[in-house]
Structure 1
């Protein structure tokens, strides 16, 4: 299905060439040197995005007139001054349906938000415009954002660009599907429990989950507004690592702390990107987590992890096994914090119109909710949210526990210096994104691997590592299981069902090390490209 946009006949030969170029640095160079006009690039991506939408239902807004008008303005500016407007001059950028654009609806998957027009831009949108970018589409999300699957009662379900029977993930699943079909060179999603990394892993792209508040969130709508112990963060998603790096540097160079009071005054750190504190990248040591003692990953995930180990070792780096340290406690405390209000905000928004509160992403449950007779409540299941409101004191104690768990994990990380041969603790930690590749719709219900890094506030990049091969990734016999969820996950696996689905992993560093993480991701990517799994 991923080949359809290029061969469907809707795009010209030049438009196919433009949209098939995945390196954002190359796209920007071609724009700056006038090889490609901003108008031609924007039109190409508009057309490809519309094709992607027909294939996966990934969009909520398409800004044809305003995007092309801005592209003409940028072309005139370059022709008149000989200078680009900013570091993102002429680059089309897609946005999750969470970032407010003045004069445009921001629905966030709620029926009650239809017709709610933003009176000003989110800070990120203003910064993108200042940098010369062209917002050209917005992408679909789940109701409330709090799901790992993209489905709501307004726009429906977004499917996977490699297999429509599989999920694109969530909550930034619209972005994942769009970029996976090369319908956008660079997009922006958000992440509080894996919401950029899960779609990235499921759709064969890269995504960065930065540290709390490192990038400006001001003016974006959200669920659980006011919950600031585990904060949602915005993150770039792209088909290239260069897209992530260029986005982060452009935003930090724009001084976001002058526009968002929560952003720390931390300019782009070139020395960190060059890995000066990590041996200048010459010999790194990576921790490798094969499983979290809660859910064993499926065979293709294990194969990908071992491929990364082999690739990095062959490139001269050290890889040591990493054992899960209080991972279940970190997951539990974040879950309790996030659900402390018994989903009151979600229920308030749904009750405004009588919209059914989605309690399952299973297609049969969604159909039952939508098809309930007028005046009759749809069939209900137990809510996945916490069954009672927590007192302020109980919430404070959870915050205290989370802080101590972060300290304990930092100590464990630092203690790894005794096991490395670099004289440093591990430089980064590589883990699964999920115990499965993109599952069937309604089955993405395990966030243990991603929420770990939200709790710790470690910046994390999801990256692609090949595809499921039914002949290599055969089912394995198991007798003992860690948990009931582990057994259920094992029974879900079928090589035939997942054949051809993308495989993704994630790599994390310690908090506020975004630049170093990007540098290490380039090291990993270079090593992997020499490995047979990615040839």
Structure 2
């Protein structure tokens, strides 16, 4: 009997050693590909010509609507725009690791075509010019994980360096059909999972407002490109805050629509077959830009009446112009109820974020809205986190984890820990728990991911049931409150420092719930860090890893942007954007 047990363990050990050897061989091949790719990125240089462009400083400050108007008025051409923004992508985006792949040569050719279309319309008269599409001749960026035909979508993984996209994502085709010109792709975290943008291929994205800080993630590259005016608008995605965190960190605007509003075809995964059968909580695409108007343009494009003709699984939910117009009409403000979030969470806000909440609340009152408190309980917060991390580990991301190991991918620290929990057993769980709680002094982070583990089919079905039941309970709570929109923090501090970013990746309390419920949520900049926000030391009563990191974030943060999110009810995206527009207009007229 003893010999049999020893034999079984020996066979198991041999299989493990064989698996390790296989991983090592694949890893060496990937590292060779990676080194060559990194060298190619360093060497690549495209010659942009901006010599004939007048007033570049004015051009790069324009939003999409202003750029289109300038093109129609003949103040500049689409070719000049591509040269201006492309030069900045190459000079700034490349230096700060904001770009993944570039599309420069194709963009130049598309710009020439747009200019020819402009001239043809000009010959036909003012009516033809007014009918040019909303993004006519305007360049845009695409998140790395969104397919652009002939271009890599690596999702930050070396094993996908030989797999260019075979077709455009539907949303890319929609933007091109609207006259837009894809110029560059935005950098992304390895496997697309993370609140900091870093991978071995394209590097660690640095915030253009302070290069010692993070752009956020996972749409961090796009946010950095927009705030540094490498592009005027971009397409991001959001499954747990991935679009809103970067918008807040970089002081730009971003919108996560109602979860199922728009096509998901071509928003790829990092599995070799580029397909995920996961349907319970999927990432959704949304616009990122320099104004609320940019977000409205983006939503009009992706929520088109014929999207089902491009993707039969996407329901046609065209942008409701009447609802948006009513939402921004000043005579309608009085009596409309807006909630201010009070969340029972262990993530205490820093002074600057709390002040931003106060500023937003006072602004809405002065505009005539009825401002009320809306509470989310500790139990509700924990339910959301437990359901989310269970889904991550049991279908949502777990396939990616297995694929990364199978293909021989080297993993960055945070990804390695997550994948160990998703693919390992009880020993791995015990080891990670011990390290996080006792060596890293991060009990809060460890508690957040208590459900990041493999579950039995029956246990996981109970989790899914609880998620859907929670969503129905929460929707009823929202309806009973009578609020039209809710103002909420996005992150408890300003942009993370690069050295703290990886340690704070589990602080998702303020963002996750709107993915779980599917409610639309948009990010707007509200204020900047002031001297008065820096006085006292940040205290949250925990004195742990997160406390130390948030204190570090506060240091040296003067004038960094503080963003909040405006949340609306499911499929009421137009009203949500309307509240964003009204609040943003007041804040611009009365800067805080």
Equivalent residue for 1:503?
A: 562
Equivalent residue for 2:571?
A: 512
1:64-463 matched pairs, under 5 angstroms: 64-82=104-122, 83=128, 85-222=132-269, 225-253=276-304, 255-275=306-326, 280-325=332-377, 326-341=380-395, 343-360=397-414, 388-416=453-481, 425-441=482-498, 442-445=502-505, 446-463=507-524
Deviation of the 1:48 alpha carbon: 1.7
Worse-superposed segment, 386-395 or 133-142: 386-395
Q: Distance in 1 between the 2:213 and 2:281 partners?
A: 29
| 8 Å Cα contact 2:151-2:164 kept in structure 1 | yes
Give the 3 Å change call, closer, same or farther, for CA 444–168 of structure 1 in structure 2. farther
CA-to-aligned-CA distance 1:243-267 (integer Å, 9 cap, x gap): 0001111233362122123322211
Deviation of the 1:334 alpha carbon: 1.6
Q: Distance in 2 between the 1:489 and 1:63 partners?
A: 37
Equivalent residue for 1:376?
A: none
Give the 3 Å change call, closer, same or farther, for CA 46–26 of structure 1 in structure 2. same
CA-to-aligned-CA distance 1:314-360 (integer Å, 9 cap, x gap): 22222112221312212221221122249542333323542222342
Equivalent residue for 2:33?
A: none
Unaligned runs of 5+ in 2: 1-48, 123-127, 418-430, 437-445
Q: Distance in 1 between the 2:356 and 2:58 partners?
A: 30
Equivalent residue for 1:41?
A: 81
1:8-19 matched pairs, under 5 angstroms: 13-19=54-60
Worse-superposed segment, 492-501 or 254-263: 492-501
Q: 1:467 aligns with which of 515, 528, 535?
A: 528
Q: Distance in 2 between the 1:89 and 1:27 partners?
A: 9
Give the 3 Å change call, closer, same or farther, for CA 150–277 of structure 1 in structure 2. closer
CA-to-aligned-CA distance 1:286-318 (integer Å, 9 cap, x gap): 111254332111111001111111111122222
Q: Distance in 2 between the 1:341 and 1:385 partners?
A: 17
Worse-superposed segment, 251-260 or 68-77: 251-260
Equivalent residue for 2:66?
A: 26
Deviation of the 1:401 alpha carbon: 0.7
CA-to-aligned-CA distance 1:181-232 (integer Å, 9 cap, x gap): 1111110010000000000000000000011221112022025822221110
Q: Distance in 2 between the 1:13 and 1:44 partners?
A: 10
Superposed CA RMSD: 2.8
Give the 3 Å change call, closer, same or farther, for CA 431–75 of structure 1 in structure 2. same
| 8 Å Cα contact 1:287-1:321 kept in structure 2 | yes
Q: Distance in 2 between the 1:107 and 1:101 partners?
A: 12
Deviation of the 1:116 alpha carbon: 0.7
Deviation of the 1:361 alpha carbon: 7.5
CA-to-aligned-CA distance 1:122-150 (integer Å, 9 cap, x gap): 11122222211100111100111110110
Q: Distance in 1 between the 2:142 and 2:567 partners?
A: 24
Q: Does 1:60 align with 2:100?
A: yes
CA-to-aligned-CA distance 1:425-448 (integer Å, 9 cap, x gap): 111011100111111222432111
- Secondary structure at the residue paired with 2:463? helix
Q: Distance in 2 between the 1:342 and 1:250 partners?
A: 28
How many residue pairs get aligned? The number is: 499
Worse-superposed segment, 259-268 or 129-138: 259-268
| 8 Å Cα contact 2:100-2:202 kept in structure 1 | yes
Give the 3 Å change call, closer, same or farther, for CA 414–72 of structure 1 in structure 2. same
- Secondary structure at the residue paired with 1:340? helix
CA-to-aligned-CA distance 1:375-394 (integer Å, 9 cap, x gap): xxxx9977979564223333
CA-to-aligned-CA distance 1:481-511 (integer Å, 9 cap, x gap): 5x96775566x35643322321111010011
Worse-superposed segment, 102-111 or 46-55: 46-55
Worse-superposed segment, 453-462 or 432-441: 432-441
| 8 Å Cα contact 2:99-2:184 kept in structure 1 | yes
Which protein is richer in helix relative to its size?
A: 2
Deviation of the 1:20 alpha carbon: 1.8
Q: Distance in 2 between the 1:264 and 1:310 partners?
A: 38
Mark the structure with the bigger radius of gyration. Answer: 2
Q: TM-score if structure 2 supplies the norm length? A: 0.79
Worse-superposed segment, 443-452 or 336-345: 336-345
